[in-house]
């Protein structure tokens, strides 16, 4: 097997870890900004297979990353389920909200998602033809809780307040919504795999705000259900789970969900994670993305410290969260050089 990401996911310890970055195709790259301009808005770019595959390939050409992540967004699934979706420049996503039974009943059936999402599968097909032989193609979706926080609030929220409120006030409706997103996610990821995705990642960006039993019920359990269903259909496709903000609850996440790899944010130290998480399987992470803005000696030292801490087991190098638009593209090269030498 020549693909280093697949080797790490198969449990292999490598001298030099494979590398990719969350949001590696994004606004910090001038070539991304140019293609986005050509597409018009962000959603037009997502639904244009030629241009979406082009921006997916840009960071691979520039940096030679070991993995390419499909260019799309976690909010395309709610849109395919019938939510209105638009992006306000400088502010982020806006959606029509689901807070009542009547809103929920208006959503489309899960099997209807392909009508909207077929251009995304086309992007995956183009990429599986065009990527270099050594590059792993990663598909993705949002985790049900994180997607629900946007569907309930109609936008991003600092504390996921509206979603917590619905959970407390109408748990039956909240769980129905999570169930529907879970089913939709299984279908969406299955289609990506059938189109050529070799690995899939589940982004639970707001898992950290689930307290007590809620973490088990709404972060662990939906991930377990999705992974079990995918493994039944596609037993050889590895799954990366990213319960961002899980803190000490990263421990045991492999076993509880069946994830092949647990992606770590920068809220845990590499030494702690090597001892408590990597013992259970492959880990991904976890350089602070602010180093891509500040650079310097600290970037190099932190990068090397992460590689060293995880050198005893399977590891995929990544940031702890997405690279930000103010990052310096040269710092990405410095990070890669610090890893590959």
Q: Is 249 a catalytic residue?
A: no
Q: Which of 4, 6, 7, 24 binds ligand CP3 (CB under 6 A)?
A: 24
Are residues 219 and 181 in contact, defined by beta-carbon separation less than 8 angstroms?
A: no
Residue 93 as a binder of ligand CP3 (CB under 6 A): the answer is: yes
Which is the catalytic residue, given 23, 191, 244, 334? 23
23 annotated ligand-binding residue: yes
Q: Which of 92, 109, 132, 312 binds ligand CP3 (CB under 6 A)?
A: 92
Which is the catalytic residue, given 32, 63, 73, 121? 73
In this chain, which residue has its C-beta nearest to ligand CP3? 205
Report how far apart, in Å, the C-alpha atoms of 327 and of each of 27, 131, 292 are: 9, 25, 5
CB of 310 to ligand CP3, least distance (A): 21
Residue 166 structure tokens? 């619905």
Task: Compare residues 223 and 309 and give the one whose CB is closer to ligand CP3.
Answer: 223
CB of 203 to ligand CP3, least distance (A): 4
62 annotated ligand-binding residue: no
Q: Is 27 a catalytic residue?
A: yes
Q: Which of 28, 203, 310, 317 binds ligand CP3 (CB under 6 A)?
A: 203
Interaction pattern, residues 132-161, with ligand CP3; x per rule: CB under 6 A: --------x---------------x-----
Which is the catalytic residue, given 28, 32, 36, 265? 36
Task: Compare residues 95 and 274 and give the one whose CB is closer to ligand CP3.
Answer: 95
Rounded Cα distance, 203 and 258, in Å: 15
Q: Which of 6, 74, 153, 263 binds ligand CP3 (CB under 6 A)?
A: 74
Cβ neighbour number for residue 15 with a 10 Å cutoff = 6
Q: Is 244 a catalytic residue?
A: no
Are residues 32 and 51 in contact, defined by beta-carbon separation less than 8 angstroms?
A: no
Residue 73 as a binder of ligand CP3 (CB under 6 A): the answer is: yes
Q: Which uninterrupted H or E stretch holds 279?
A: none
**Residue 80 neighbours by CB under 8 Å, 6+ apart:** 108, 112, 113, 114, 115, 116, 117, 184, 188
Q: Is 204 a catalytic residue?
A: no
321 annotated ligand-binding residue: yes
Listed residue (123, 128, 125, 110) closest to 186, CA to CA: 110
Q: Which uninterrupted H or E stretch holds 284?
A: strand 282-287
Q: Is 23 a catalytic residue?
A: yes
CA 258-251-287 angle, 5° bins = 100
Which letter does DSSP use for residue 290 in this model? T
Strand partners, 241: 202, 262
Residue 302 structure tokens? 């932190």
Q: What are phi and psi of 199, to 5 degrees?
A: -145, 150
214 annotated ligand-binding residue: no
Q: Show which residues are catalytic.
A: 23, 27, 36, 73, 150
Q: Which residues are near ligand CP3 by CB under 6 A?
A: 22-27, 36, 42, 69, 71-75, 92-93, 140, 156, 203, 205, 322
């Amino acid at each position: 097997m020549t693909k280093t990401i697949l080797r790490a996911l198969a449990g292999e310890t490598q001298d030099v870890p494979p590398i990719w970055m969350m949001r590696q195709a994004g606004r910090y790259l001038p070539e991304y900004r140019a293609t986005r301009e050509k597409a018009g808005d962000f959603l037009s770019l997502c639904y244009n297979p030629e241009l979406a595959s082009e921006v997916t390939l840009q960071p691979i050409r520039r940096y030679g990353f070991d993995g390419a992540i499909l260019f799309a967004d976690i909010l395309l699934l709610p849109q395919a389920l019938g939510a209105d979706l638009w992006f306000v420049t400088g502010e982020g996503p806006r959606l029509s909200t689901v807070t009542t039974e009547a809103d929920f009943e208006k959503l489309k059936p899960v099997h209807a998602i392909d009508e909207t999402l077929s251009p995304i599968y086309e992007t995956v097909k183009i990429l599986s033809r065009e990527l270099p032989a050594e590059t792993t193609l990663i598909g993705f979706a949002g985790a049900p809780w994180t997607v629900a926080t946007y569907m309930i609030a109609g936008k991003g929220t600092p504390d996921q307040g509206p979603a917590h409120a619905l959970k407390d006030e109408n748990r039956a409706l909240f769980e129905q919504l999570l169930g529907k997103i879970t089913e939709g996610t299984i279908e969406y990821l299955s289609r990506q795999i059938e189109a050529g995705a070799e690995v899939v990642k589940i982004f639970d960006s707001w898992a950290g705000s689930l307290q007590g039993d809620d973490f088990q019920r709404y972060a662990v359990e939906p991930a377990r259900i999705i992974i079990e269903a995918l493994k039944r259909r596609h037993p050889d496709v590895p799954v990366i789970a990213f319960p961002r903000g899980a803190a000490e609850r990263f421990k045991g996440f492999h076993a509880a969900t069946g994830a092949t790899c647990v992606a770590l944010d920068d809220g845990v130290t590499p030494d702690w994670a090597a001892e408590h998480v990597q013992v259970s399987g492959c880990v991904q992470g976890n350089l602070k993305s602010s180093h891509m803005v500040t650079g310097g000696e600290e970037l190099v030292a932190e990068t090397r410290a992460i590689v060293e801490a995880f050198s005893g087991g399977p590891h995929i190098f990544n940031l702890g969260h997405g690279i930000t638009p103010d990052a310096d593209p040269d710092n990405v090269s410095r990070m890669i050089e610090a890893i590959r030498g």
